[in-house]
Amino acid sequence: MDVRLKKLLFRSAHRGTKEIDLILGGFAAARLESLSPDQLDRYEALIETQDPNLYDWLVGLAPVPAEYDTDVLALIRAHHRLVETP
């Protein structure tokens, strides 16, 4: 695993909020290596956001800003079955 993936994996599982640690850490462990470089860029931008906002977006409690409403967010939701899609 390259250095970038190792850093993203660590940052995903050590954010400070247990729920987000579990959601992102589980996703990262299972799926990071299969993401394209562009998807990794979007993932990295997503995990730069504050945990309360990210949690609300992931579980559907708040609308997702357009810049974060990406295929990567959909992959995380689908991985954990967080929000049913129509």
pLDDT digits (tens, 9 = 90+) for 5-24: 999 999 999 998 999 999 99
Q: Among the residues of the chain, which ranges form H helices?
A: 3-13, 18-31, 37-46, 51-59, 71-80
CB 40 within 8 A of CB 4: yes
Whole-prediction pTM: 0.89
Per residue in 24-82, pLDDT (tens digit) is 999 999 999 999 999 999 999 999 999 999 999 999 999 999 999 999 999 999 998 87
Report whether 46 contacts 68 (CB < 8 A): yes
The letter for the amino acid at 66 is A
Q: What is the pLDDT of residue 16?
A: 86
Query: Residue 57's CB: how many other CB atoms inside 10 A?
Result: 22
Domains and CATH numbers, the chain: 3-80 (1.10.150.250)
